[in-house]
Chain A
């Protein structure tokens, strides 16, 4: 999952080129989906465990990464169980789990700026009319502002709860959208003020 989880460190995974990490992540996910065999999944899970060990990340870090997704994983498991078999439910859930853990491993070991540079390195093969630096900035902004919008949502909900309106979708969404737009305006302005181009 693309969270803001970077943990500083000096492992080979931290030092690896971000572009390579992204390519590897892509190949890893593709492989898990194309080769639908339990052995492949087992290899994948072992690889991830090794990755976390190499990066010096303990079970705690792994748990933090996956915690927000537990709910979704549980729903998928239940749905598969209902529609298919127990065996398939386990397989599908574990595979998604593996993908999330792999993506989290990349974000744990890659700073947002390196991540953007990695994307830029990949983008550098794109034609020249693609605004590469802008795309990179946009990606870091998403990274930076997701926690902030989440915090704003909590704030708005609290304020509306105090007014007894916390079950009213409109009362939640309107202030949130207004604030987000206003924030976006101010951020755009700050970016203008801080950079020369």
Chain B
């Protein structure tokens, strides 16, 4: 199982933003790096259908299901991802369209709050939470739907050091595979595979100990 990209192109406003991407992604932790404007976010958004390819196909495993059924997406700014005024209600939101019985909704919410040690935030107003707390709540909102894969677009840019470390620990414990776009190379150092995107193409693809130093060297030139 995993994501499969088959000759995927994305064209916007007559500009080719991603060209001819063919990949099979089965690793547990995959990092995506590259310069500003190179196409990382566009690439990531293909994973759960926020972006549709101009040509080529993106599939989860062998299924032709709606990608959103399998892939959870964490946005950079949790403020915009949290929809409801109260934590508990917001967690219920993602489950609404899945038509689960009420008891299961409650159970899942309790479980995810417990797993992320967020039970104390249950009845809090979302807009009063700190940045790190908001991000954890946004993550809980993704996890509660039990996705098979989770995408993160620059998850640590708004976090202080403590919250960043907390986030890294949480990420390490997630049972699902994750794809993380980040400019924070330390965050990706322990990953299984790194994709370096440049000008809408996969410039390098391999283990972090190969790809990251090469990327650093390139940036210093």
* Inter-subunit contact B97/A111 (CB<8 Å): no
With beta carbons under 8 angstroms apart, the residue of B89, B98, B126 that contacts A113 is: B89
Bound-state Cα–Cα, A197 to B95, Å: 11
Known: A112-B89, A186-B77. A195 touches B84 (CB 8 A): no
* Inter-subunit contact A144/B93 (CB<8 Å): no
List, in ascending order, chain B residues with CB within 8 A of A191's CB.
83
Q: Name which residue of chain A comes closest to B79, CB basis.
A: A148
What's the minimum C-beta distance from B119 to chain A, rounded to whole angstroms?
Answer: 14
Is residue B92 contacting chain A, with contact meaning CB distance below 8 A? yes
What's the minimum C-beta distance from B106 to chain A, rounded to whole angstroms?
Answer: 13
* Inter-subunit contact A190/B83 (CB<8 Å): yes
Is residue A143 contacting chain B, with contact meaning CB distance below 8 A? yes
List, in ascending order, chain B residues with CB within 8 A of A194's CB.
73, 81, 83, 93-94, 141-142, 145
* Inter-subunit contact B83/A141 (CB<8 Å): yes
Bound-state Cα–Cα, A78 to B123, Å: 40
* Inter-subunit contact A195/B85 (CB<8 Å): no
Is residue B30 contacting chain A, with contact meaning CB distance below 8 A? no
Tell me the A178-197 residues at the B interface (CB within 8 Å).
183, 186-187, 189-197
* Inter-subunit contact A144/B68 (CB<8 Å): no
Is residue A160 contacting chain B, with contact meaning CB distance below 8 A? no
Is residue A8 contacting chain B, with contact meaning CB distance below 8 A? yes
Known: A144-B127, A195-B94, A196-B68. A190 touches B81 (CB 8 A): yes
Tell me the dominant secondary structure on chain A's binding face: helix
List, in ascending order, chain B residues with CB within 8 A of A137's CB.
83
List, in ascending order, chain A residues with CB within 8 A of B80's CB.
183, 186-187, 190
Interface size for A (C-beta < 8 A) is 26
List, in ascending order, chain A residues with CB within 8 A of B93's CB.
194-195
Bound-state Cα–Cα, A100 to B142, Å: 37
Q: Name which residue of chain B comes closest to A182, CB basis.
A: B80
Is residue A6 contacting chain B, with contact meaning CB distance below 8 A? yes
Known: A4-B125, A113-B92. A140 touches B83 (CB 8 A): yes
* Inter-subunit contact A193/B85 (CB<8 Å): no
Bound-state Cα–Cα, A196 to B145, Å: 11
What's the minimum C-beta distance from B158 to chain A, rounded to whole angstroms?
Answer: 14
List, in ascending order, chain B residues with CB within 8 A of A195's CB.
93-94, 96-97
Interface residues of A (CB under 8 A from B): 4, 6, 8, 111-113, 137, 140-141, 143-144, 147-148, 151, 183, 186-187, 189-197
Q: Which 4 pairs across A and B sit closest by C-beta, in order of nearness?
A: A186-B80, A113-B89, A195-B97, A190-B81
